[in-house]
Structure 1
Amino acid sequence: MALSDAELMARMNRFVPPTAMLLGQEIVEIDSAAGRVRMKFMPVPECRNPMGHVQGGFVVAMLDDAAAFAAIVKSGERIGIPTIELKASFFAPAPAGVPLFAEGRCIKLGRRVAFMEADLFDEAGKLLARLSTSAVPLPPQGDGPNPNLVERK
């Protein structure tokens, strides 16, 4: 039996990749039918660049997670979604110390390739960055729980 979007969101917020802690990641909305997720990030202070903004590599990591999660929820099953290429465009510095919001969208989910996009916004809704990416949908490794996820308490 498939999980509802609310059940899926609770599970995905409970069992997280280690980077979720670093980036202060929380899924705030899932629309699995549309292949869309909305996420909130609050990166730790160590993610700041010398100018005091969130360093661009961490911005890309947030966007990559949002895009990947969109493909995962669109699939309706447990899959891996390793990135095979991506392009990021930066429109404004990502402020540090405040919540940032990402929207990930699965544009097309094929058997061999998935195409996704993600946008990062500040609290006021200003577009900070956009990512376009593709990945390979893969079945999970093993039958048990994913050993690369940690349980958030």
Structure 2
Amino acid sequence: MVKLTAGELMSYLDEVFPQMRGEFAIEDLGDMRIRTRLHVTERHLRPGGTVSGPSIFALADVSVYMAVLAMIGREALAVTTNCSIDFMRKPAAGADLIAECRLLKLGRVLAVGEVLIFSEGGDQPVARASMTYSIPPVKS
């Protein structure tokens, strides 16, 4: 069951990561899944005009982070403990990136997520990531 709405998640992200304000948007949120958007600007581009690997990683990472928080509530200290990412094709020039994320496992201590990233309007993924998050113990 989802504990935070898309609006609550975005407000919380703005609160704990103000330096990222306006870079990401939630397009859809449901049980164990989220679709997010990276608003691609010049700062996300590498030489040659394509979106940089670190920007693609950031979209994957924030997508899993928000999917986890949607399920467990406000927990700023949930952290990435593992990531494997495949960069499969060059993103479309000038297009935003869309991440389709689903949580494969949500336990007491670990969450495992899978993310497919697409150029807006594209049907072939530009990247695929598998990420594991550590969830801090519940305070009694």
TM more than 0.5: yes
TM-score by length of 2: 0.83
Deviation at 1:87, TM superposition (A): 0.3
Paired letter, 1:21: R
Alignment partner of 1:135 out of 104, 109, 133: 133
Asked whether the equivalents of residues 36 and 74 of structure 1 are also in contact (C-alpha less than 8 Å), the reply is: no
- Matches of residues 110-149 of structure 1 in structure 2 within 5 Å? 110-126=107-123, 127-138=125-136
- 1:100 maps onto 2:112 in alignment: no
Q: Secondary structure at the match of 1:14?
A: helix
Q: Secondary structure at the match of 2:7?
A: helix
- 1:18 maps onto 2:18 in alignment: yes
TM-score by length of 1: 0.76
Asked whether the equivalents of residues 70 and 106 of structure 1 are also in contact (C-alpha less than 8 Å), the reply is: yes
How far, CA to CA, are the matches of 2:109 and 2:36 in structure 1? 26
- 1:78 maps onto 2:74 in alignment: yes
Asked whether the equivalents of residues 78 and 139 of structure 1 are also in contact (C-alpha less than 8 Å), the reply is: no
Q: Secondary structure at the match of 2:9?
A: helix
Unmatched segments (≥5 aa) in structure 2: none
Paired letter, 1:10: G
Asked whether the equivalents of residues 32 and 103 of structure 2 are also in contact (C-alpha less than 8 Å), the reply is: yes
Deviation per CA, 1:25-79, whole angstroms, max 9, x where unpaired? 0111110xx211111111321221111101111101111111121122122x222
What root-mean-square deviation, in Å, do the aligned CA atoms of Structure 1 and Structure 2 show?
Answer: 2.4
Unmatched segments (≥5 aa) in structure 1: 142-153
How far, CA to CA, are the matches of 2:53 and 2:59 in structure 1? 10
Q: Secondary structure at the match of 2:21?
A: helix
Paired letter, 1:20: M
Q: Specify whether residues 139 and 20 from structure 1 end up closer, same or farther in structure 2 by C-alpha distance, changes over 3 A only.
A: farther
Paired letter, 1:61: A
Number of aligned positions between the proteins = 134
Asked whether the equivalents of residues 45 and 96 of structure 1 are also in contact (C-alpha less than 8 Å), the reply is: no
